[in-house]
Amino acid sequence: MGKEKKLASEQDLISACIDNDSRAQKILFETYAPKMLGVCARYCSNMEDAKDALHEGFIKVFRLIGNFKGNSTLETWMTRLMINTSIDHFKKSIKYLHFEEHEKVHQYSDEESSYSLQIEEEEQIKTEDLYKIIEQLPEGYRLVFNLYVIEGYTHKEIAGELGISAGTSKSQLARARTMLKKLVKEQLNIG
Amino acid sequence: MAKKNKHIDDLFKEGLKGNELPLDGSEWGRLFDELHPPKKKRFVWWWFALPGVLLSAVLVFFLMPEKTKDVDGASTNQVVSTQTPNSIADNSDQTSKSASVEKIEEKNSVENEVQNIESEVEKSVESNSGGLSRQTSSAPGISENNKTRERKELEVSTSRTPYVVLSMSPITGVNLSLENPLSPMISLPFGLGYPAVSIDTNNPASEYIMKGRFISLGGGANRWSQQLESNDNKYLELRGKNENTAILPDFSIGYQHDFAKFRFNTGAAFTTKGQTNSRDFTFEIYDSLPYVDQNGQRTWLPYNYRDTTVSGLNSPRYQYVRLPIGLSYPVRLSDRAELDLGVNTSLQILTGGAGFILGNGLKPQNVQQLGGFNRLQVGLSGSVGFGYAVTRQTKLRISATYSGDLSDMNRSANNSQRFNGLGLNAAVQFNIKKK
């Protein structure tokens, strides 16, 4: 009747997933899906798109898990796949990404301090409010902001990822910051 | 309250990086379905091909235009002629009369034809002039030229004539004739074959009894599928995934009675119906995560069988005694072969069962402990059969049948179950009335 199979370690889990073991796949999914949905939600403009991206991302995870070499943690590797999938996902959903190639980057380069907010020390900002705000960014702004600020990519890496120039990446980041600051002030009454 | 400067980057990085969002229970199920798609039940052409190929092969083998048979056991041509007394008296070719038999398949039929012709001529001559004699071509006094010409007229062709005939085989390709492997029949699916057979339905002189009263003993197999209906779609889906079609045996005794152009069939059949349980069936695929509503309330959905795999369940089997009553329309193909198309209705008596199904809550349940069975059911079937006389009074019949339950085999509060199946059977039929 009941069949129990112990999966002792992450390596066992990966091996079982490579063997297309549905039980191991489920464990992997349950372990990482909530975190990966959090990643996808940052890149997508609504939760439905985020779930679609998560679905596609996990399909890739299970199909490519045999390629995982262990050079990074499994979570990092999966996060990278999710980001790529999210980018691909909304690349498909819009005809083209609009980036303002001729932006004058130097206008923003010396104004880092202007992106600071005055926040009360005890104030807790709800995560869901942050998601709501970031969802309102135009796709290009959101992509670059996420990749640069949260994932820690360089402008050169972002440029390679999105097929734009590093200068454009910088200008998109600056615009994203400006817009976010404005949205936070307006919607959260902060700063 | 004290305020601090916070960069917009830090605000979002701290708030969003590594954040988790709850999922509802449907995500894993959707993913599982894509990762492990159910094997599509392919349309089983071979199942239909088998009886078709068999019938085609048998038809080709037995119904090819036969070469002229040797009436006396020696010659290959039959020549039958008669001459009037006048022609004998005048010793002239012009007055000779001849009669021919277009096709002679059996020694008896040839002899019958000769006798018929001779008697007709005799009567005719007697009525005209009375007391005249008759002579066959083999009689002395006929010239060689005359014999040759008459032979040409009366010769039964030995060449194989290509005919086009409806092919029973759904397989496109070449069917080799068993009689002559060098004479292939190319057939299209349910289409036309070439060259194939000529069908002579007018063969009154056959020594083989094809019609009359026969009893039969038969056996075969049916490929059963279940028609499961339930108000609970998830239950339906899961049982449908676990239980697959089964090929199960069938034995029968039968009685056949021909009247007018139709054939009445009845008898008794011992039939096993059932399904095949999957070797390993896993429930873990469904709703393995709780459903989370907008308020964060977690709810486990009804079919949350986490980590449960059912293995090695004996498949469900149901034994029936069936009492069929049917009517069919036989078509004589030759003196030894016939085709029949029929419909049958049968009273089905459920006599027993064994094995397991996934019962309520998808827990394995012995069918012997299930309720809701109908002991009596009605079934309907259609069949196509091919009969071949192996001896004068014995026929071999091969048939393909599609049958289905008209009433439920099992009905409980939430679901009902019926079976339908495609069967292939062979039976030996014995004539019980001497010709």
- Determine the 3-state secondary structure of B209 from DSSP: coil
Let me know whether B308 and B394 are in one domain: yes
Residue B72 has pLDDT above 90, yes or no: no
**Mutation target vs A (from B4, B10, B19, B282; most A CBs, 10 A cutoff):** B19
CA distances (Å), B126 to each of A50, B94, B115, B119, in order? 107, 20, 16, 10
Q: Please name the residue of chain B whose CA is at the shortest distance from the CA of residue A62.
A: B35
pLDDT tens digits, B164-209: 444 444 444 444 433 333 344 444 444 444 443 434 444 445 678 8
Measured CA to CA, the distance from residue A14 to residue A70 in angstroms comes to: 10
- Minimal CA separation from A3 to chain B, in Å: 6
Measured CA to CA, the distance from residue B358 to residue B360 in angstroms comes to: 7
Nearest of B200, B176, B92 to residue B142 by alpha carbon: B92
Residue A161 host element (H or E): helix A155-162
Note the CATH number of domain A106-188. 1.10.10.10
Question: Which residues, 6+ apart, have CB-to-CB distance to A153 below 8 Å?
Answer: A147, A161
pLDDT tens digits, A102-128: 444 444 444 556 778 777 777 778 888
Give the mean model confidence (pLDDT) for residues A13-24: 86
- Minimal CA separation from A52 to chain B, in Å: 10
Contact B191, B171 (CB under 8 A): no
Let me know whether B189 and B220 are in one domain: no
pLDDT score for B85: 41
Nearest of A163, A49, A165, A150 to residue A104 by alpha carbon: A165
With a pLDDT cut of 70, the percent of chain B lying above it is 52
Measured CA to CA, the distance from residue B266 to residue B215 in angstroms comes to: 10
* Contact residues on chain A for B11, CB-CB shorter than 8 A: 117, 119, 125, 130, 184
- Name the residue among B2, B3, B21 with its Cβ closest to that of A38: B21
Residue B220 has pLDDT above 90, yes or no: yes
Q: How many beta carbons lie within 10 A of that of residue B216, not counting itself?
A: 19
Domain annotation covers residue B366: yes
pLDDT tens digits, B325-382: 999 999 888 888 899 999 999 999 999 899 988 877 677 888 888 888 888 999 999 9
- Name the residue among B5, B13, B27 with its Cβ closest to that of A150: B13
- Name the residue among A50, A54, A121 with its Cβ closest to that of B1: A121
b/e map of B375-384 (b: 16 or more CB within 10 Å)? eebebebebb
- Minimal CA separation from A163 to chain B, in Å: 24
**Has domain A10-93 been given CATH number 3.30.70.930?**
no
- Count chain A–chain B contacts defined by CB atoms under 8 A: 127
Say whether residue B279 is in contact with chain A using an 8 A CB cutoff: no
pLDDT score for A114: 75
pLDDT score for A167: 85
Give the mean model confidence (pLDDT) for residues B12-40: 82
Give residue B236's domain range. 201-431
Q: Please name the residue of chain B whose CA is at the shortest distance from the CA of residue A173.
A: B9
**Number of domains observed in the structure of chain B:** 3
Let me know whether B100 and B181 are in one domain: no
Let me know whether B280 and B173 are in one domain: no
The more confidently predicted of residues A66 and B54 is A66
Q: Is the whole-model pTM more than 0.80?
A: no
Longest pairwise C-alpha distance within chain A: 69
Q: Chain A neighbours among B 10-69 (CB < 8 Å)?
A: 11-13, 15-23, 27-28, 30-32, 34-36
Q: At what angle do helices A127-135 and A22-43 cross, to 10 degrees?
A: 60
Domain annotation covers residue B426: yes
Contact check, Cβ <8 Å, A119/B3: yes
pLDDT tens digits, B102-161: 444 444 555 565 566 556 655 554 554 444 444 444 444 445 555 555 454 444 333 344
Let me know whether B183 and B328 are in one domain: no
Residue A17 has pLDDT above 80, yes or no: yes
Q: Report domain extents, chain A.
A: 10-93, 106-188
Let me know whether B127 and B233 are in one domain: no
Let me know whether B149 and B208 are in one domain: no
- Name the residue among A42, A55, A149 with its Cβ closest to that of B9: A149
Nearest of B402, B398, B400, B399 to residue B379 by alpha carbon: B402
Let me know whether B205 and B190 are in one domain: no
Contact B351, B322 (CB under 8 A): no
Nearest of B106, B115, B69 to residue B205 by alpha carbon: B106
pLDDT score for B76: 37
Most confidently predicted of A71-80, A137-146, B421-430: B421-430
Mean pLDDT in chain B?
69
Torsion angles phi and psi, residue B172, rounded to 5: -75, 135
**How many Å separate Cα A162 from the centre of its chain?**
14
pLDDT tens digits, B273-324: 999 988 777 654 343 344 556 666 655 444 444 445 677 788 999 999 999 9
Contact B171, B53 (CB under 8 A): yes
Let me know whether B322 and B399 are in one domain: yes
pLDDT score for A88: 76
CA distances (Å), A97 to each of A82, A164, B320, in order? 19, 10, 68
Give the mean model confidence (pLDDT) for residues B18-45: 77
